[in-house]
Amino acid sequence: MANDTCIRLQADIEQIKSCREKLKSNSKSFLQLGQVLALAGNEVRLKILFLLEEENELCPCDLSDILGMSIPAISQHLRKLKDGNIIEARKAGQTIFYSLRSEHLKTLRPFFKFINQQNLATV
Amino acid sequence: MANDTCIRLQADIEQIKSCREKLKSNSKSFLQLGQVLALAGNEVRLKILFLLEEENELCPCDLSDILGMSIPAISQHLRKLKDGNIIEARKAGQTIFYSLRSEHLKTLRPFFKFINQQNLATV
DNA sequence: TTTGTATTTAAGTATTTGCTTAAATAAGTA
DNA sequence: TACTTATTTAAGCAAATACTTAAATACAAA
């Protein structure tokens, strides 16, 4: 945070002040949305989320097969998604089924929509 | 990619096959969307994108003031967004104004909408 | 109880990320 | 021309990320 040169001479001080306030009043949203986007911004996790939306629920073993990745790698991605409250777990015997939490569906649905639209466009 | 244990005994082979195909036919979308989400998944860059949407265009110096960060730090974030084709630059004298590229607005708008909705909800 | 299956956890590591400081460009001004 | 301003680039570094392998946990069946 070196105070080198700024602020610039012709800067619109009012604009800068207003921007600072906008950030401040939305700070919670930026943190919250940023976390969800950071999780979805990994290609493996994006695929996992997409598959959970499509199939309703899947277990780590199935995801490992589908994505061609090791089980621990999948499990660690699932933990991140679970820690971020994006997915939840259901136990059935020794199998654990993961599914999307409805609270975040509103945020995620535009992504899925985008993917399905792209698919229609290219086929 | 250790082939440790999977696939599980009661796995639905058809489901796994169908999922693999879904991923394959959408592979371009996952790559593309994943890159945009990875860029937006950083809180600083999310704020920059939000501000560019609100203010139309801003220069690195203004963003540095608004966000309270060094100019090089801002500049490097802007370069990432530019490399990802999310923003574009316009030169005016020695000042460079950055703005959102319209192609990606469709993907980004739900985020801004979310932020503004949250703001309404909490005020 | 032993064995096998499904999953998680832990430790190690190579790569990426996001900043820092210092130097390099580029364009206006004196 | 030299000096300031706006921005980028480069090098260095601490922290985070995403995998690996090996060990631990939990449940079910023989």
The domain limits of chain A are 31-122
DSSP state of A104: G
pLDDT at residue A111 tops 70: yes
User: A9 vs chain B: nearest CA distance in angstroms?
Assistant: 10
For residue B72, the SS3 value is helix
Q: Which residues contact A16 (CB under 8 A, 6 or more apart)?
A: A7, B62, B65, B66
Task: Give the Cβ contact number of residue B71 at 10 Å.
Answer: 16
Which residue stretches of chain B have pLDDT < 70?
1-6, 121-123
**Tokens encoding A34:** 């940023």
Distance CA B24, CA B17 (A): 11
- Chain A residue with CA closest to B50: the answer is A23
pLDDT at residue A65 tops 80: yes
Q: Which residue is nearest to nucleotide C22 (CA to C1')?
A: B72
Say what the pLDDT of residue A9 is: 76
Using the beta-carbon criterion (under 8 Å), do B68 and A39 form an inter-chain contact?
no
Q: Which fold has domain A31-122?
A: Arc Repressor Mutant, subunit A (1.10.10)
Pairing of strands A87-92, A95-100: antiparallel
B13-122 to CATH, choices 1.20.1340.10, 3.40.50.1970, 1.10.150.120, 1.10.10.10: 1.10.10.10
Identify whether the C-beta of residue B85 lies closer than 8 Å to the C-beta of residue A31: no
Say what the pLDDT of residue B8 is: 78
- Chain B residue with CA closest to A117: the answer is B29
pLDDT at residue A3 tops 50: no
**Tokens encoding B85:** 């084709």
Q: Which of B55, B112, B45, B47 is nearest to A16 (CA)?
A: B55
Show residues of chain B in contact with A1, CB under 8 Å: 68-70
Give the confidence band of A2 by pLDDT, cuts at 50, 70, 90. very low
Say what the pLDDT of residue A6 is: 60
Angle between helices A27-40 and B27-40 (to 10 degrees): 150
Q: Which residue is nearest to nucleotide C4 (CA to C1')?
A: B5
User: What's the mean pLDDT in A86-92?
Assistant: 97
HSE-CB for B12 with a 13 A CA cutoff: 9
Distance CA B53, CA B106 (A): 12
Pairing of strands B95-100, B87-92: antiparallel
Amino acid at B121: A
Task: Give the Cβ contact number of residue B59 at 10 Å.
Answer: 22
Higher pLDDT, B121 or A22: A22
> What's phi and psi for B96, nearest 5 deg?
-120, 120
Distance CA B7, CA A102 (A): 28
**What does chain B come to in residues?**
123
Using the beta-carbon criterion (under 8 Å), do B25 and A123 form an inter-chain contact?
yes
Distance CA B33, CA A111 (A): 8
User: What's the mean pLDDT in A103-116?
Assistant: 89
Of B6, B22, B122, nearest to A71 by CB-CB distance is: B6
Q: Which of B95, B104, B27 is nearest to A123 (CA)?
A: B27
Identify whether the C-beta of residue A34 lies closer than 8 Å to the C-beta of residue A83: no
